[in-house]
Structure 1
Amino acid sequence: MKQSFDAIVVGAGQAGPSLAVRLATGGQKVALVERHLFGGTCVNTGCTPTKTMVASAHAAHLARRGPDFGFTAGDVRVDLRAVKARKNAVVERSRSGVEKWLRGTENCTVIQGHAAFESPRSLRVGDDILEADQIFLNVGARPLIPDMPGIGTVPYLTSTSILELEELPRHLAVVGGGYVGCEFAQMFRRFGSEVTILDMHGRLAPREDEDASAVIHEVFKAEGIDIAVNATCIHLEQSEGSIHVGIKCDERAPHIEASHVLLAIGRAPNTHDLNLAVAGVHTDDRGYIPVDEQLRTNVHNIFALGDCNGRAAFTHTAYNDYEIVADNLLNGAARSLSDRLPIYALFTDPPLAHVGLREHEVRERGIRALIGKRAMTRVSRAIEKGETFGFIKILVDEHTQHILGATLIGPGADEAIHCIATCMYARQPASLLAHSVHIHPTVAELIPTVLGELKPLE
């Protein structure tokens, strides 16, 4: 059966539902197609479940630190089945809220099934053909399974399947020292598992500046997480009921004996089964869909939003993709991707937050800059909370006096970063923040202090 719409949105992640509702309430006839779970990665296997579990891990960690604060909580043990139940309840509320919102929106037809292109203006979902002048792809991404020696011979976990565990791993080996790997490594160590984290690079969080990676390394070592970097030839083997993770290709090199292995080495876009070639939509060599500054693909009436376009795989950037598309199409705006500052957080404890350029990027570009930096050991709120790992670092253009970027790692860093981002978005000089009065005692109150102590970046 053929059905005609003004717009078709494929995927109910962060960008899709908001766009579908915005178009529908604007008077368009809209179809939203979702083949699995409403809410996408963030709600089901990303931000919502993981941050719920991080909160459980944080509570257990603080309880064990009771003597540092003048009390004793006794022998703290984590019931992973109860942690999972709490996580599932939070996820279900979010997921059902998204679905109810969509199904209750006038002019929006929700269709469940797998969509694949039949032409640049039509998609097949089961036995139905959906036609529209505009099509918006918000299909997300999935954990990448590497072509690693031994990958087909041993059981392994991904960032999705590990969320379903109900018994704590005796020893969890985390392959990948990036953002996902670091969060799960600390989480499960705090739950009570032995944890080893491995990465082929020379340090954890290798995209960050070296000083930020060093803090994460210091925190992890203090919590008893084993770290194996420069793991140049990671391979898996099954042996007597355990999994062995090799670090070097030399058979005599050390192996890590683990009960469970988590593969956290990246994600792949869900574009492989959309039949994009029929629609003439191009992808790059990794399967991502290139888009222009307004999120259009090479086919003028087809847009790609969120993780599948390779333009920053975060919930907040996916939602901003929706805002750009909706404002441009419905309000005649001229918003673009280049208006967006790179901003994100790594939700370890303490969290790492970043906006703009990193120090190594400023150096590589040869920008004459000023730098201010203060350790959390000199921040009153961090001392009072007993959380003194980390620092505040801000880089300022020497000529324009505008902030180039900032990295904060420490308590509340994921919140404090926003006042710096706001100053950058307002295109105001660093003096705006330097002369601001912030609340005491907070971590953010030291941002003006750091900007008052700028020195040339050498």
Structure 2
Amino acid sequence: MRQIDTDICIIGAGSGGLSVAAGAVQMGARVVLIEGGEMGGDCLNAGCIPSKALIAAAKAAQAMRDGARYGITPVEPEVDFGAVKDHVAQVIQTIAPIDSQERFEGLGVQVIRAWARFTGPDSVEAGETRIKARRFVIATGSRPLVPPIPGAESVPYLTNETIFDLRERPAHLMIIGGGPIGMEMAQAHRRLGCQVTVIEGSRALGRDDPELAAVVLHRLRAEGVDILEDAEVTALAGAAGDITVTLKDGRTVQGSHLLIAVGRKVHLESLNLEAAGVQHDRKGVTVGADLRSSNRRVYAVGDAAGGLQFTHVAGYHAGIVIRQIVLGLPAKARTRHIPWVTYTDPELAQVGLTEAEARKEHGAGVTVLCQEFHHNDRAQAEGKTTGLLKVMVVKGRPVGVSIVGPQAGELIGLWAFAIASRAKISAIAGMVAPYPTLGEISKRAAGAYFSPKLFDNPMLKRFVRLVQRVLP
């Protein structure tokens, strides 16, 4: 068995691992990157990229149905489901070289394609190679969680890792799980011609502001998605093409395909973390704000760190770790400025505190600003007026923003920046937004914070009358 001595050993070539590897090696560190699966991880191969490519195809199909309001005769699209999957595969193939083994080896990273396991506090084995490193970064990501539902062991089901391989359109897709993945896949498949039923044990999109989530759920139901809430699944039965889901109240749902989308499980089992003295639980590696584990040589990023499970969080964590293990500078991760988006139509985006969270934390000290999309001229021109923006303000600074509406995922970026930089609401109000854009809705919301002070202030009105009398 050969041995490599290096500065940094990274386990996992997903978003977080690749970001650490690229940054560290280009700054001069010796880097070994270990990956037993596909380069690019879940995001490229079975998550963000294929799902958004599928959503784009579904959006194109829906546009053909929605032409009447623009004076265009609506038609029912002819969907070639196999060709849609070719589009998804092509998008992955186009992006893949950025995450490829060849690119990273070209940067100077030693890439080992094997599964890794710790053999001690400062050593890892992968295939026929033993790696000793000054620092390790666990970036193994997560995989779909399959709950222990009776019958799951014998019934064929899909997860996000397998659904994009389907070439034949499902006649009736049943989805267990009403979170972001479940709702995105529900709308996309409905728009591509499938009958779709979503089964959620509690409240669909339960993590988001219920007022805004209701807008998304109303749209999906209007498009023909059947959404069952407070519907606990107790059993699965059947075979390929004919599957039955039994609910706790005795109801049954029958369909041709079943997608399980109830959450993610961190991938740590094969790492032998006990040998390295790394504490962990079912949520992930136990880390502090500096992302360092109980073994001072070992850090964790992204899903493996046990927090928010988003690709952009893994990239953010990579920067925190690089500052420490490459530059020797202190750094700590925060979460209040991390945005997330559900890419339904309309989109649903959040950063910081929701209204309920802000009121619980700040009580009467929170001001909630609201702006509806139907007041935005660009939204009117586009015929996309359904939506709402909420800004939660405390002591003149935004502490949370919720948006449902067209391009909410793009609009949330400004507010993520504002919260990250602790900007005052006056900075957004003073911004000049181009006209007509959806972005004006953020400026109008911020301006509304000052409206009572300007327009409902008797003292100010008396002062203005005085000024008008003395002005030459």
Superposition TM-score, scaled by structure 1 size: 0.94
- Paired with 1:52 and 1:25, the residues of 2 have a C-alpha distance of 31
- Paired with 1:288 and 1:45, the residues of 2 have a C-alpha distance of 21
Secondary structure of 1:265's counterpart equals: coil
Amino acid paired to 1:102: F
- Paired with 1:83 and 1:361, the residues of 2 have a C-alpha distance of 40
| Gap change, CA 1:401 and 1:301, over 3 Å in 2 | same
Secondary structure of 1:382's counterpart equals: helix
- Paired with 1:306 and 1:22, the residues of 2 have a C-alpha distance of 16
Matching of residues 28-427 of structure 1 within 5 Å: 28-72=29-73, 74-99=75-100, 100-106=102-108, 108-201=109-202, 203-238=203-238, 242-248=242-248, 250=249, 253-284=250-281, 286-338=282-334, 341-367=337-363, 368-397=365-394, 400-427=395-422
Of stretches 144-153 and 92-101 in structure 1, the one that deviates more from structure 2 is 92-101
CA deviation string 1:117-168 (max 9, x = no partner): 1001111112321111211111110000111122123111101110100011
- Paired with 1:276 and 1:332, the residues of 2 have a C-alpha distance of 25
- Paired with 2:336 and 2:12, the residues of 1 have a C-alpha distance of 23
- Paired with 1:240 and 1:110, the residues of 2 have a C-alpha distance of 39
Following superposition, the deviation at residue 425 of structure 1 comes to 2.2
Secondary structure of 1:365's counterpart equals: helix
Of stretches 75-84 and 315-324 in structure 1, the one that deviates more from structure 2 is 75-84
- Paired with 2:234 and 2:377, the residues of 1 have a C-alpha distance of 43
Contact 1:5/1:130 (CA < 8 Å) preserved in 2? yes
Q: Percent identity?
A: 34
Of stretches 63-72 and 303-312 in structure 1, the one that deviates more from structure 2 is 63-72
Amino acid paired to 2:243: I
- Paired with 1:177 and 1:340, the residues of 2 have a C-alpha distance of 24
Contact 1:413/1:443 (CA < 8 Å) preserved in 2? no
Amino acid paired to 2:110: T
Aligned to 1:19: 20
Contact 1:246/1:254 (CA < 8 Å) preserved in 2? yes
Secondary structure of 1:168's counterpart equals: coil
Unaligned residue ranges in structure 1 (runs of 5+): none
Secondary structure of 1:22's counterpart equals: helix
| Gap change, CA 1:222 and 1:156, over 3 Å in 2 | same
CA deviation string 1:183-214 (max 9, x = no partner): 1000100110000111011x310011110121
Secondary structure of 1:384's counterpart equals: helix
Amino acid paired to 1:31: V
Amino acid paired to 2:415: I
Contact 1:195/1:226 (CA < 8 Å) preserved in 2? yes
Q: CA RMSD in A?
A: 1.8
Following superposition, the deviation at residue 332 of structure 1 comes to 3.9
CA deviation string 1:73-99 (max 9, x = no partner): 633021121111111121122223321
Superposition TM-score, scaled by structure 2 size: 0.91
Aligned to 1:446: 441
**Higher Rg:** 2
- Paired with 2:326 and 2:117, the residues of 1 have a C-alpha distance of 26
Secondary structure of 2:285's counterpart equals: coil
Following superposition, the deviation at residue 240 of structure 1 comes to 9.8
- Paired with 1:425 and 1:19, the residues of 2 have a C-alpha distance of 22
- Paired with 1:403 and 1:74, the residues of 2 have a C-alpha distance of 44
Following superposition, the deviation at residue 233 of structure 1 comes to 3.7
- Paired with 1:28 and 1:450, the residues of 2 have a C-alpha distance of 46
Amino acid paired to 1:243: I
Paired positions, count: 448
- Paired with 1:96 and 1:277, the residues of 2 have a C-alpha distance of 35
Contact 2:283/2:306 (CA < 8 Å) preserved in 1? no
| Gap change, CA 1:294 and 1:179, over 3 Å in 2 | same
Contact 2:369/2:445 (CA < 8 Å) preserved in 1? yes
Contact 2:233/2:245 (CA < 8 Å) preserved in 1? no
CA deviation string 1:407-438 (max 9, x = no partner): 11111211111122222222221111123221
Secondary structure of 2:49's counterpart equals: helix
Of stretches 426-435 and 139-148 in structure 1, the one that deviates more from structure 2 is 426-435
Contact 2:62/2:191 (CA < 8 Å) preserved in 1? yes
- Paired with 2:236 and 2:264, the residues of 1 have a C-alpha distance of 20
Contact 1:272/1:287 (CA < 8 Å) preserved in 2? no
- Paired with 2:127 and 2:409, the residues of 1 have a C-alpha distance of 43
CA deviation string 1:227-255 (max 9, x = no partner): 1001034431227951111222x4xx321
- Paired with 2:408 and 2:283, the residues of 1 have a C-alpha distance of 34
Amino acid paired to 1:91: I
Of stretches 333-342 and 291-300 in structure 1, the one that deviates more from structure 2 is 333-342
Of stretches 132-141 and 412-421 in structure 1, the one that deviates more from structure 2 is 412-421
Contact 2:213/2:348 (CA < 8 Å) preserved in 1? no
- Paired with 1:32 and 1:178, the residues of 2 have a C-alpha distance of 33
CA deviation string 1:297-325 (max 9, x = no partner): 11000011111112211111100111111
Contact 1:219/1:389 (CA < 8 Å) preserved in 2? no
| Gap change, CA 1:151 and 1:405, over 3 Å in 2 | same
Secondary structure of 1:90's counterpart equals: helix
